[in-house]
Chain A
Amino acid sequence: MGKAWTFGENMNTDEIIPGRYNITIDPIELAKNVFCEVKPEYAKNFKPGDVIVGGQNFGCGSSREHAPIAIKGSQAKCVIAPSFARIFFRNAINIGLPILECPEAVADIAEGDDIEVNLSSGEIFNRTNGHQYQARPLPDFVLKIAEAGGIVNFLKEHDIQELLA
């Protein structure tokens, strides 16, 4: 379980990690400035297992992988949003940052709520208000990547053709 940190709609990659910090690819370094312009207290106070709760079109803008890496570097359990921008969606899956699409959860979760997430089932439990939500299932081939912990790990063991097999 972890604390919910809520963010607005159309959270773009410049807001997740501004271009001037993309001079490193180190997750821990990037995490020091993650969300620095929209919620500077996050980088100072996050705890491993906390949960990012975003608005629709989360991660829009640039293709920079630094954005999901910065979030992963902060050891967030996952990102929950009603919808994700397409490159961010692919990037998050590819680098092994769990993401869940769940409009119901986003509408109901408040900043600081205590959230429990079962990544394999997509069940989200709000311990603060006792509500439970079910995230949309991910396509099979996306699950294959997620279960391997990212596309790099998948390819160490498999041929790319096996993705759609």
Chain B
Amino acid sequence: MGTLIEEIFSRKVGNTVHTGEILLLDVDYIMSHDNTTPLAIKAFREIGKPIHDKSRIVIHLDHAYPAPNVLAAENHRKIIDFVKEQELPYLFQQGVCHQVMIEEGFVTPGSILIGADSHSNTYGAMGAFGTGLGSTEIGVAWVTGKCWFKVPETIRVELHGQTQQGVYAKDVMIHIAGLLGMDGGTYRSVEFGGDYIDQLPMHERIIFPNMSTEIGAKCGLIAADDVTINYLENETLAKGKGPFEQIRPVNPHYERVLEIDVSTLAPQIACHPDVDNVRPLGQVEGLEVQEVYIGTCTNARYEDLEIVANLLKGKRVNPYTRVIVTPASARIYKKALQNGLIEILMDAGCTVTGTGCGACIGRHGGILAPGERALTTMNRNFIGRMGSPLSEIYLASPATAAVTALTGRITDPRKSLETIS
């Protein structure tokens, strides 16, 4: 009996747990990447004890990859040497960590995943508990296989209706971030449900747990259902790992319930400099941008690239705007290549880069100059995140990004979509 997080934790420990309890949980997978693994290795060495279970450790090189400078290359070298030394089975160098975690089948309903990356909340889209931690705790979990958690209070976000054409999960989530604010979900589990979520395909569902991080949440959860199971069986290497249990909230007590009708929502923009500085697109329409960036763990899946390609097909992007597309994984890149999306994007004047996180954290592959403004499909727009502290980041959906790329000004995708359909 309880909220989804209480149900998931109760299954894990084998008895009923309640909000407020402190638990020491067995962790199914421990994720880290090139930005956070070196400090985990340092903690591991200092603790001086052996790894508890190598098959639970998953390491990705994606944050500054391929290495943009010598220090990053040395960093990768250290990590790869460590993986070899410890004979760790999972090292990935072909995509944004969270996307690869899902594709490789590490994320299954009811599982417990910790990641040295704040967007590890993403795994909640599969009905798993995923949360971000610092590197030292990752090193601790390598040794102990465990991690402490307080069972959090839950905010239920109940979403009703169907969005208009041109309005996507990203717009809905940006709207929620505006309503709840940057600390509106701090220490909380944020449960997303309702008839809007029920009918939503997985690539759209993922946005909600992924960006629950932006409102401070410990985790963002969507209960596993047939959509989840079909996705796991058909789109990921979790195939055959089942049967998967569809864990659901049972007579839950919520701290707060937020009811939202999505049917009247216009495309939304999170404006510089905070993710909760949210406006309907109309209020910032026409604002000039110098870069459009389509990428990251939030919005660079195959379906996102398809939306962008459909809007750019046979057209040319604004000649004075940098338009960069970074597929979230090699699998996505390959599928987009096979189906002709990459050709469309290139013909339209986009720069299609190898996969990774570099631009989103201001490392490489899309850095902004002072005074520049970017419209991106990312999840956060902190000052200086993409480069100069004097640059600005606006967050939006892939469709808004695509039409903005054509004009070089923030543009409403709804008219273009009507023309296409």
Contacts and interface: CB of A to CB of B under 8 A. Distances in A.
B296 to A, nearest CB: 13
Contacts of A160: 24, 140, 144, 146
A65 B136 contact: yes
Interface string A12-42: 1011001110111100000000000100000
B382 interface: yes
15 contacts: A10-B182, A37-B384, A56-B183, A61-B380, A62-B118, A63-B132, A64-B35, A64-B134, A65-B39, A65-B134, A65-B135, A69-B39, A141-B22, A141-B148, A152-B47
Nearest to A95: B136
Interface string A45-60: 0000000000011001
B43 interface: yes
Interface in B16-60: 22, 24, 35-36, 38-39, 42-43, 46-49
Contacts of A91: 133-134, 136-137
A42 to B, nearest CB: 15
Contacts of B363: 19-20
Contacts of B216: 57, 60, 85-86
Nearest to A84: B186
B274 to A, nearest CB: 7
Contact of A57 (B48, B146, B183, B389): B183
A87 interface: yes
Given A20-B363, A63-B117, A151 B137 contact: yes
A19 B182 CA distance: 20
Given A152-B47, A160-B144, 5 more contacts: A60-B186, A64-B134, A86-B218, A95-B136, A155-B143
Contacts of A83: 183, 186
A83 B116 CA distance: 22
B71 interface: yes
B92 interface: no
Interface in B378-408: 380, 382-385, 389
B66 to A, nearest CB: 15
A19 B186 contact: no
Q: What 8 A-B pairs have minimum CB-CB distances, sorted nearest first? A: A91-B134, A57-B183, A65-B134, A19-B361, A160-B144, A14-B382, A63-B132, A63-B118
Contacts of A85: 183, 186, 216
A161 B362 CA distance: 40
Most buried by B among A10, A139, A161: A10
B371 to A, nearest CB: 15
B244 interface: no
A155 B135 CA distance: 15
B352 interface: no
Given A57-B183, A87-B132, A95-B136, A63 B49 contact: no
B75 interface: yes
A139 B22 contact: yes
Given A65-B136, A139-B22, A151-B137, A18 B116 contact: no
B260 interface: no
B414 to A, nearest CB: 32
B118 A156 contact: no
Interface in B118-149: 118, 120, 132-137, 139-140, 143-144, 146, 148
B72 interface: yes
Contact of A163 (B24, B39, B361): B24
Contacts of A37: 383-384, 389
B97 to A, nearest CB: 12
Contact of B136 (A18, A86, A150): A150
Interface string A119-144: 00000000000000000000101000
Contacts of A65: 36, 39, 116, 134-136
Contacts of A63: 36, 115-118, 120, 132-135
Nearest to B45: A152
B187 interface: yes
Given A37-B383, A85-B183, A151 B140 contact: yes
A14 to B, nearest CB: 4
Interface string A154-165: 011000110110
Nearest to B38: A25
Contacts of B75: 23
A23 B72 contact: yes
Contact of A60 (B69, B115, B182): B182
B219 to A, nearest CB: 10
B183 A152 contact: no
B77 to A, nearest CB: 13
A34 B118 CA distance: 20
A109 B135 CA distance: 32
Interface string B181-210: 011001100000000000000000000000
B24 A19 contact: no
A56 B43 CA distance: 29
B387 to A, nearest CB: 8
Most buried by B among A22, A63, A141: A63
Nearest to B52: A160
A25 B187 CA distance: 27
